[in-house]
Amino acid sequence: MYEKMENVFVLDHPLLKHKISRLRDKETGTNEFRSIVGEIALLMGYEALRDLPTEEIEVETPVEVCMTPVISGRKLAIVPILRAGLGMVSGILSLVPAAKVGHIGLFRDEETHEPHEYYCKLPGALEERIITVVDPMLATGGSAVGAVSLIKEKGGRNIKFMSILAAPEGIERFHAAHPDVQLYVAQVDRGLNDDAYICPGLGDAGDRIFGTES
Ligand code: PRP
Ligand code: URA
């Protein structure tokens, strides 16, 4: 179904599926959970950044001089949504170590499930950057929509969003609000429960990454 939605990419790879199953297991502890989130972010980043622009430079190999591509000077930024998005930063930074990192703090109201902003610090020259926003969970989509709106208000134009687990409701809402933003998800789950948690999901991603309890 999502193949028909422009800019929505559901990644389908046995390595991702296996790692997500480890995340789902409630017996998976903080240490393993955190490192798997980082590994998934790296694998997803590899796909999401496949359209990065390159330019040819001259390099002398031990055999001869040749022209060969490198990532061109476009500035990159990674923006995790706090808290859980922090778990995905290291994986993407290992692909693009020179990227700047911004932070957007949002928490969901337990009653309304709508996001509230409590922090925003973004790199300069946003309009020149390729910006990858990361959050492991796309549930109602409120946080993702809010974060991208904030980035656009501050000048961001070239934006991608990466999420490990998504509910169909979240994908629909995000795509309706920001059809220009490439959305990468590793797994689409059945839907949301009455508390707006993803089912079957993996629980509270922030709590599981940082070892806190709701
Ligand atoms: C979680 C998650 C997303 C949001 C998704 O964060 O990391 O940011 O919920 O839900 P939504 O799609 O319905 O907006 P939470 O608000 O629990 O904050 P935390 O990361 O600090 O735990
Ligand atoms: N946030 C989470 O951490 N998990 C969910 O299932 C929904 C929102």
Nearest CA to 214 among 110, 88, 82?
110
- At 203 the pLDDT is 98
Atom 4 of ligand 2, residue of closest alpha carbon:
204
Our answer to whether residue 132 is catalytic in this structure is no
Mean residue pLDDT across the chain: 96
Nearest CA to 72 among 91, 89, 57?
57
Residue type, 93: L
Q: Is the CB of 39 under 6 A from ligand 2?
A: no
pLDDT class of 21 with cuts at 50, 70, 90: very high
- At 110 the pLDDT is 86
Q: Is the CB of 78 under 6 A from ligand 1?
A: no
Atom 3 of ligand 1, residue of closest alpha carbon:
137
Question: pLDDT per residue over 132-183, tens digit each?
Answer: 999 999 999 999 999 999 999 999 999 999 999 999 999 999 999 999 999 9
Our answer to whether residue 204 is catalytic in this structure is yes
The C-alpha atoms of residue 187 and residue 44 are separated, in whole angstroms, by: 11
- At 214 the pLDDT is 67
Judge if pTM exceeds 0.85.
yes
Our answer to whether residue 61 is catalytic in this structure is no
- The residue written with tokens 């999901």 in the block is 201
Is pLDDT at 1 greater than 80 in this prediction? no
CATH class of 8-210: alpha beta
pLDDT class of 30 with cuts at 50, 70, 90: very high
pLDDT class of 108 with cuts at 50, 70, 90: confident
CB 106 within 8 A of CB 116: yes
Whole-number percent of the chain with pLDDT over 90: 93
CB 129 within 8 A of CB 52: no
The catalytically annotated residue of 22, 24, 34, 108 is 108
- At 63 the pLDDT is 98
The CA-based dihedral angle spanning residues 23, 29, 30, 35, taken in that order and rounded to the nearest 10 degrees: -50
Ligand 2 centroid distance, CA of 82 (Å): 13
- At 3 the pLDDT is 73
Nearest CA to 119 among 105, 109, 133, 99?
105
Atom 5 of ligand 2, residue of closest alpha carbon:
197
pLDDT class of 4 with cuts at 50, 70, 90: confident
Is pLDDT at 67 greater than 70 in this prediction? yes
- At 213 the pLDDT is 83
What is the mean pLDDT of the segment spanning 184-188? 98
26 Cβ neighbours under 8 A, 6+ residues apart:
203
